[in-house]
Structure 1
Amino acid sequence: MAGDNRIDRSRRAFLRRPLAGLVEGRDRKDRRREADRAADPWRPPWATDGFEDACTRCGACLEACPEGILVKGDGGFPEVDIAQGSGECTFCRACVDACPEPAFDDPDSSSPWDWVARIGAGCLATNGIVCQTCGDVCDYHAIPFAPEESGPPVPWLKTDACTGCGACVAACPAQVIKMVHRPQR
């Protein structure tokens, strides 16, 4: 109808809803995945498969991390927590160089880890709100945005380009990006 000035109240209500409401609306699979992640902590880059056996929990890697993202985790073992420090791993190798034990693989001959980002269902862009924060902070161009016919562009993850640095996780305003193990081919 031409000249119809009625307000679409459902859209306004969506925008007034707190972002936490999007996160709280996660399904059981998301909660189960988070529980699995807690059982499989995010270790520092280049940590060996037998990291817990080799690590003496001396804290040298925590002190050496210039980004401040390494914290003492369960049992005193170092874990990555992107909510701390700069919010991303720059793969500077400081943790590897600081460790006196054989707890890390050689950075020159192996990849840092098999973690990649996963964008959850509460993503603002997939819910009709313009947001490209994750793509803007990704230095590796792993999160391009696909144009949509009706609505803002939506992100998709190029797992081959994702390094698992965590920058997108820290920057996501809805906090729906999580780190998961790279899918097996």
Structure 2
Amino acid sequence: MSSAPKVASRRAFFSGLRGLNADTGGTQTPMVIRPPWAWQFDESCTACGDCIPACPENIIAIGKGGLPEIDFGKGECTFCDACADACSEPVFDRSVTAPWHLDVSVSSKCFAENGVYCRSCGDVCPESAIHIIPQLGGRARVLIDDDLCTGCGACFSACPVDAISIKPATEIAHG
């Protein structure tokens, strides 16, 4: 999705592997995904919950702290804008081109990368952002084209072994 560097420091890299925030001295930080086009969501959302029943895909749920978050285990986002239309607070900015900045990755549990024929994620991707490239020895390489990926989450629930992970992008300022 974003072509900016993801991690600049060794500390941020290893903290990210442990699910920790490098800036907080090791305290747990949830890797929650807010609804699309959410801007300063944690500061501006009143937790009224109007966006939850508005979502026709039923992928918005109340998360820890009472704020809405996306659950791709229930399905994909169709970017219908219903959540933003239902919200009376200034938490959505639909003027930006990308609905959100997410990192989508494939783990070593992937069937295709372990020599088992599987194309579930590639078949359901509405943007054709997932490429499954055959390699010698019967294995395949699963590549996600960040320029095409919208972060809709269709691949997440389609994966039979939960090899797809989607989390908020970790972007840093250029120095």
Compute the TM-score of the two structures, normalised by the length of structure 2: 0.79
Partner of 1:45: 36
CA 1:41/1:182 → structure 2, altered by over 3 Å: closer, same or farther? closer
Partner of 1:102: 90
1 or 2, which has the higher helix percentage? 1
Cα RMSD for the two superposed structures: 2.3
Larger radius of gyration: 1
Unaligned runs of 5+ in 2: 1-13, 22-27
* Residues 72-100 of structure 1: CA deviation (Å, up to 9, x unaligned): 0011100000122xx10000000001100
Indicate if the aligned counterparts of 1:116 and 1:162 stay in contact, CA closer than 8 A: no
Residue 40 of structure 1: how far off its partner (Å): 3.3
Match of 1:174 among 136, 161, 169: 161
Partner of 1:150: 137
Unaligned runs of 5+ in 1: 1-27
CA 1:88/1:38 → structure 2, altered by over 3 Å: closer, same or farther? farther
Query: 2-side partners of 1:39 and 1:173: how far apart?
Result: 24
1 or 2, which has the higher strand percentage? 2
Match of 1:58 among 33, 48, 58: 48
Say whether residues 1:70 and 2:60 are aligned partners. Answer: yes
Structure number with higher relative contact order (C-alpha < 8 Å, ≥ 6 residues apart): 2
135-144 vs 107-116, which deviates more? 107-116
Residue 182 of structure 1: how far off its partner (Å): 4.2
* Residues 46-87 of structure 1: CA deviation (Å, up to 9, x unaligned): 010x21221111111001000000000011100000122xx1
Q: What is the aligned length?
A: 153
